[in-house]
Amino acid sequence: MVSRRSAALLAAVAVLACFGAQLAWAAAEEDTLQYTEEFLKTKINKAMLQLPMAVRAARNGTLKKAAASAPKEISVTCLNSIAPAPLNWKMWCPDSHATVTQWVDEVGSTHRKITLKPIANMTAQMAVWFMTPAFPKTLNISGGVFTKHRLWHPLDHHDKQEFKLTPGKGLLEPPVLNSKLNENYRPVPGAKNQKHYKTSLWVAANDLALNLPRNRYVLGMEYLGFQAFTLIVEFNDTPKGLVTSVEVILGAAASGYDPKNPTKGVPKIAASTANALLFESVMEPYRKNGDFKGALDAVTRHVVEEFGNLQWFVPEAWGRSVQGQVMKQLQEVKAALIAATSRPEMKDINFDASQAEAN
């Protein structure tokens, strides 16, 4: 029979164990910050309750606003990620494979631009092809079968990517393609005060028919009539290979935010007001506790890794595709024509079209 003292001791141990388990669960929850639509809407709605105070502060000249700053190159720690077997490829790092700059524009929105180093075995056409449904849904590579989305980032992506169509804003506008960003952003191993960031957000592909032919795409998330999150991705061919640039904009997108689509964005006075009265109050606590920079750094690492990963499987898939075969043949014909017209005997031929007509 268990004595009263033993029973009391066991009860105390049980209570401490439960308390410890709750602490461990709370710590795990605290170490993970998930950005969902509901999470952001709750934060913005809470900020709206403070709107009268913000308006009063604006009138008094005491409203906090992110100060404009010039682009500055910054350093982002590497994860040194390696894709799981059988892929085993080493992923790219921001410090060694990209240039990262950050600035605050005149309306108070934060920009971070990530420009990757050239990928020698890829072209912009290949990258755009990868972004379209024409790319195979699954690919047999390195002895395994993988989905397109998992190959793009074997550690941070799920097997499938979610899409949906929503009506256009105007009667004559086509439906808008929306993609769900179910992303996982891993913390730096061993680093202090690092959180595990996640996103689960629907974003709209703006003017897809206009942007894709120009080797680019633009994603945005709107709230209260403002595009509060923007992602601009551009693929550019260079003599050294494909250069990918990704620009993240946090805050209201003002007119001129996208130089290639200058009519996009709200008037600057409206964007400045929305940032000062609403969005900045949402972001300020995260600036103070480091989550604002932490989340942007996590996104930066993810972007460099996923777009760097394209070099390991897209060229092989392109070579197997009909598009790739046709382009290869056209390139061979072009090379043959250049070689033929550059021969010395061809240079001596002087063809006079007017004389040919006279004859």
Does some domain include residue 273? yes
Q: If 0-12 CB within 10 Å is exposed, 13-18 middle and 19+ buried, where does residue 275 land?
A: buried
Does some domain include residue 312? yes
Please list the residues that pair with 96 across neighbouring strands.
none
State the pLDDT at residue 253.
Answer: 93
Between the alpha carbon of residue 139 and those of residues 148, 189, 304, 326, the distances in Å are: 7, 31, 22, 20
**Paired tokens of 202:** 């629907």
State the pLDDT at residue 357.
Answer: 47
**Paired tokens of 79:** 């994860």
For residue 220, the enclosing domain spans 32-320
Does some domain include residue 251? yes
- Residue 283 · residue 291 · CB < 8 Å: no
* CA dist., res. 192 & res. 185, Å (int): 16
- Residue 116 · residue 233 · CB < 8 Å: no
Does some domain include residue 128? yes
Does some domain include residue 7? no
Between the alpha carbon of residue 351 and those of residues 198, 346, 355, the distances in Å are: 66, 11, 9
Q: Residue 180's closest CA among 195, 197, 165, 196?
A: 165
* CA dist., res. 84 & res. 101, Å (int): 30
Does some domain include residue 80? yes
* CA dist., res. 253 & res. 109, Å (int): 7
Does some domain include residue 246? yes
**Paired tokens of 296:** 């942007």
Angle among Cα 83, 86, 92 to the nearest 5 degrees reads 25
Q: Is 334 helix (H, G, I), strand (E, B) or coil?
A: helix
Residues in CB range of 16: below 8 A, 6 or more apart: none
If one counts the domains in the chain, the total is 1
Does some domain include residue 17? no
Q: Is 69 helix (H, G, I), strand (E, B) or coil?
A: strand
The tens-digit pLDDT sequence of the chain (359 residues) is 445 444 433 333 333 233 333 323 333 444 776 666 676 667 666 666 565 665 566 556 656 667 889 999 999 999 999 999 999 999 999 999 999 999 999 999 999 999 999 999 999 999 999 999 899 999 999 999 999 999 999 999 987 788 888 888 776 778 899 998 888 898 888 777 778 888 888 999 988 888 999 999 999 998 878 898 999 999 999 999 999 999 999 999 999 999 999 889 999 988 888 888 777 777 777 888 888 899 999 999 999 999 999 999 999 999 988 776 766 666 666 667 677 776 665 555 554 544 444 44
- Residue 267: asked if its preceding bond is cis (omega within 30°), the reply is no
SS (H, E, C) 217-266: EEEEEEECCEEEEEEEEEEEEECCEEEEEEEEEECCCECCCCCCCCCCCE
